[in-house]
Structure 1
Amino acid sequence: MNIMEYLNEKFPTVELVPTVYYQWDIGIHFSLGKGIYQLRENGELNLERFRIGYKQTLTIFKELFDQNDDLFLVTNIYRQKTQQPTKKMKVYQPNLRDKNKLKQLQVKTYPYPFEENEREEYEMQQFSLHCKVNDIRVNGLLKAAINEDFPLKPRFGGDSVHYPDVFFVNITKDIIFFVYDDRGCEVISRTADRLRPLYEKYYDWIEGVDRERIQKGLRM
């Protein structure tokens, strides 16, 4: 089974592009580092904001994923069609415990998923790897996702028009988890039962404007 076959069977209305939360009824949108601004008054980065975001995303991930779960680690690269690759994408190589698994990496090219008038110039390359959770260094991946807009390491790198998007697709539990940047993350599930405890436990990480929609999807 490849990633598209899995999505067609389990999440038939979902495309792995930002905002999966709005493509599926059963899901939660979490805000990260609520009430803490990214910059201090002197213009320096507020590293406490990022430390909290790292901790929150890792906490949520551990609630959703067990070490022996099967997953697709999916990465979207957005690039100019005529562009020659010049930089390494730092998603798989640094974060795989067994580098031999790189041979199993699959890639497919899709139309640019954002502004329609730019599709002649840009495209999306989607990489996917079927592996176990314990095959990957989760902490580094989550930190790099949060660091998107800031000069912090680790970073994903690559020749992107936009920063790469990385999705964790848990095919054991039928859950998709996506950290879009330091502001927040999203999780969707085939069943509401998997997410209700998460909603109740981390209620304070959810914005009030999102709660009605989430409660409706979770049938609460």
Structure 2
Amino acid sequence: MKVTLPEFLKEHFNDLKLEPPLFYSSPYGIRFEIAIPWMEHEDKRNLRQIEERSTGIFSQVFHAGDDVLLITDIHCQKNDRFLQNRPAKVYQKI
């Protein structure tokens, strides 16, 4: 039986609404600083740090057989189709 997202959220997350500020709307959450704060975001050392920390956290929290629901909050203009469609392409790589 396939469960819809609203049904899943109602059953497991007390009917949580997927709207900003999502992190602060849920009683559950873990927040990590994955970047080097004083370094430019595009700097290769920072990007390497971001990749290492995010994959390290992910591999410690989840196991191979786990189901994972990824929610992405993207802030962009309504007509910015590139940013609106990009997460699907990123997730396909992973």
Give the TM bin, normalised by the shorter chain: 0.5 to 0.7
Which secondary structure does the structure 1 equivalent of 2:85 belong to?
A: coil
Provide the rounded CA distance (Å) in 1 between the counterparts of 2:90 and 2:36. 30
- The answer on 1:89 being equivalent to 2:85 is yes
Deviation at 1:73, TM superposition (A): 3.9
Provide the rounded CA distance (Å) in 2 between the counterparts of 1:32 and 1:94. 18
Provide the rounded CA distance (Å) in 1 between the counterparts of 2:60 and 2:77. 34
Aligned 8 A contact 1:13 1:24 in 2: no
Partner of 2:16: 14
Provide the rounded CA distance (Å) in 2 between the counterparts of 1:74 and 1:27. 13
1:55 and 1:79, CA in 2 relative to 1: closer, same or farther beyond 3 A? same
Aligned 8 A contact 1:21 1:27 in 2: yes
**Residue 25 (structure 1) aligned to one of 4, 20, 27:** 27
CA RMSD of aligned residues (A): 3.1
TM (norm. structure 2) is 0.65
Provide the rounded CA distance (Å) in 1 between the counterparts of 2:20 and 2:39. 23
Partner of 2:68: 71
Which secondary structure does the structure 2 equivalent of 1:28 belong to?
A: coil
1:92 and 1:35, CA in 2 relative to 1: closer, same or farther beyond 3 A? closer
Deviations 1:20-79 (A, max 9, x none): 33122332221123443216xxxxx42211211111111111112222222334456666
Aligned 8 A contact 1:7 1:14 in 2: yes
Aligned 8 A contact 1:3 1:72 in 2: no
Q: Which amino acid aligns with 1:59?
A: G
TM (norm. structure 1) is 0.33
Partner of 1:194: none
Q: Select the structure with the greater relative contact order (CA < 8 A; seq sep ≥ 6).
A: 1
Whichever structure has more helix as a proportion of its residues is: 2
Unpaired stretches in structure 2, ≥5 consecutive residues: none
Q: Which amino acid aligns with 2:46?
A: R
Q: Percent identity?
A: 21
Partner of 1:37: 39
Provide the rounded CA distance (Å) in 2 between the counterparts of 1:79 and 1:47. 28
Unpaired stretches in structure 1, ≥5 consecutive residues: 40-44, 97-136, 139-220
Provide the rounded CA distance (Å) in 2 between the counterparts of 1:31 and 1:74. 18
Alignment of 1:1-220 (within 5 A): 1-12=3-14, 14-38=16-40, 45-75=42-72, 80=78, 87=82, 89-93=85-89, 95-96=91-92, 137-138=93-94
